[in-house]
């Protein structure tokens, strides 16, 4: 008997105000996968992620988490099952890195359960995993953009959820730290069995790290599957309007997108 996947969207429509962004979409996130959502700006990637994270209620359809409508679960219960690294966040003034990461333990607190050694161990582990241990006592507002991004990830990891959603997690990071961040995500999947869903703009990094890829256009899914299966020149033209050649990445043997040079609006090779 097949066990239902933990996170899925069923006939979901999402939007803001009078504008609908995501249209009647079905998506099942494979358990234990590193699922990456790609698409042009305005395609609905981040809107879909917000819907999966319970930050945006569907106009129609249902987001299902562990067999129940995610909006029927209390927020604190959802936060024990699903972590989120959003695109932008605001930290309290003068808070230290350690105190900010410790806020990731809030879903596990109650009147009967206060701070425990398990909470401290989770924070320590999250700082170590993200390489931010040496920043623990520093004020968060003194950090660089890249350092802040790693601290936000540490806070999400401190929640110790089985599912982690990441909206453009490599924002503000230089190329070395982008690789470091995505390597960490890959280790969370292979070593901890975590399920990750990320929005990424860099197609070649997405192809290198994703085990499952979702390509969106105009609020719908136009293709999904293993990167080696769905990344084609035809799909890149359809989704991004990009003329390109696809070759094998010499380092990872994953698809590598090579844009074609254009001269006077015409493709040249």
Confirm whether 252 is domain-assigned.
no
Gap between the terminal Cα atoms of the chain: 51
Give me the pLDDT at residue 227, please: 96
- Name the residue range of residue 65's domain: 7-231
- The CATH number of whichever domain residue 55 belongs to comes to 3.40.50.300
Would you say residue 131 lies in a domain?
A: yes
Return the pLDDT at 220.
Answer: 97
**Domain tally for the chain?**
1
| 203 within a domain of the structure (yes/no) | yes
pLDDT at residue 172, rounded to an integer: 78
Q: Give the sheet arrangement for strand 7-16, strand by strand.
A: 19-29, 7-16, 60-65, 68-69
Q: Identify the CA nearest to 154 among candidates 91, 85, 52, 79.
A: 85
Q: Note whether residue 260 is domain-resident.
A: no
pLDDT tens for each residue of the chain, 269 residues long:
566 799 999 999 999 988 999 999 999 999 999 999 999 999 999 999 999 999 999 999 999 999 999 999 999 999 999 999 988 788 888 999 999 999 999 998 876 678 888 999 999 999 998 889 999 999 999 998 888 988 999 999 999 999 999 999 988 788 988 998 899 999 999 988 999 999 999 999 999 999 999 999 999 999 999 999 999 999 999 999 999 999 999 999 999 999 998 765 455 54
Enter the pTM of the model.
0.90
Q: Is residue 263 part of a domain?
A: no
In a domain, 172, yes or no: yes
Interior CA angle at 238 toward 232 and 242, to 5°? 75
Residue 98 maps to a domain: yes
- What pLDDT shows up at residue 266? 53
- Answer whether residue 251 is part of any domain: no
């Amino acid at each position: 008997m097949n066990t239902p996947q933990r996170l899925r969207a069923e006939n979901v429509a999402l939007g803001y105000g009078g504008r609908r962004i995501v249209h009647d979409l079905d998506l099942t996130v494979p358990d234990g996968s590193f699922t990456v959502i790609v698409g042009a700006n305005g395609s609905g990637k981040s809107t879909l992620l917000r819907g999966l994270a319970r930050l945006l209620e569907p106009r129609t359809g249902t987001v299902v988490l562990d067999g129940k409508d995610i909006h029927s679960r209390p927020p604190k219960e959802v936060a024990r099952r699903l972590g989120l690294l959003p695109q932008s966040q605001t930290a309290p003034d003068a808070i230290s890195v350690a105190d900010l990461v410790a806020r990731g333990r809030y879903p596990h607190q109650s009147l009967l359960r206060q701070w425990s050694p398990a909470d401290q161990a989770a924070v320590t582990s999250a700082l170590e995993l993200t390489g931010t241990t040496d920043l623990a006592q520093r004020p968060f507002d003194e950090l660089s953009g890249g350092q802040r991004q790693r601290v936000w990830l540490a806070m999400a990891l401190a929640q110790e959820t089985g599912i982690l959603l990441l909206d453009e997690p490599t924002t503000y990071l230089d190329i070395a730290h982008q690789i470091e961040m995505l390597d960490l995500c890959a280790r969370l999947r292979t070593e901890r069995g975590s399920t990750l869903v990320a929005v990424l703009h860099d197609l070649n990094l997405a192809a290198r790290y994703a085990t499952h890829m979702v390509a969106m256009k105009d609020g719908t899914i136009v293709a999904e599957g293993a990167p080696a299966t769905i990344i084609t020149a035809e799909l890149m033209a359809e989704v991004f309007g990009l003329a390109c050649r696809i070759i094998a990445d010499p380092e990872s043997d994953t698809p590598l997108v090579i844009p074609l040079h254009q001269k006077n609006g015409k493709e040249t090779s």
